Amino acid sequence: MTVPHFTDHAANERTFLAWVRTAIAVMAFGFLVERFDIFLKIAGKSLGKTVTMSGQVAGSLVGLALIVAGALMVMAAMLRFVRNRADIADDQTHGATSDRLDLVLAGLIVVLGVALAIYLGLTMLHGAKQG
């Protein structure tokens, strides 16, 4: 028994899995950003210094936003996978689909990256003023 359009189905599945891996990485990074204060407290204790946590709320918000963005990426990947699987199985020719969801997710990641860079820059400036 052979599967019609097997190479197309296999490529669709590989693309889906790549999206899922990327989403897991984004969510893991979000978790690390959200919990970075724990690392700073432990590092401060080991160095014998007291670490103040200015901007902890901003870091938590960025971390949570990255986790939500990762979850949205998995949902978008699932929707694309199912839609592409149906299009591959259908013998009719289909036009290109809208990339709007992809662009929104990419834009969200860019905004979160810029917010994270600003947060880290402000944290460094605040630390330099105290030190």
For 19-60, write each residue's pLDDT tens digit: 999 999 989 988 888 887 666 666 667 777 665 555 567 778
Average of per-residue pLDDT across 86-110: 81
What local confidence, expressed as pLDDT, does residue 21 receive? 95
Which position has the higher pLDDT, 124 or 54? Answer: 124
- The C-alpha angle with vertex 23 and arms to 75 and 115, in degrees rounded to 5, equals 110
pLDDT exceeds cutoff 60 at 131: no
For 58-89, write each residue's pLDDT tens digit: 778 878 888 998 998 899 899 989 998 998 88
Average of per-residue pLDDT across 14-22: 94
How distant, in Å, are the alpha carbons of 45, 60, 116, 130 from that of 50? 7, 20, 23, 12
Contact 126, 55 (CB under 8 A): yes
Report pTM. 0.69
Q: What is the DSSP track for 39-77?
A: HHHHHHHHHT-PPP-TTHHHHHHHHHHHHHHHHHHHHHH
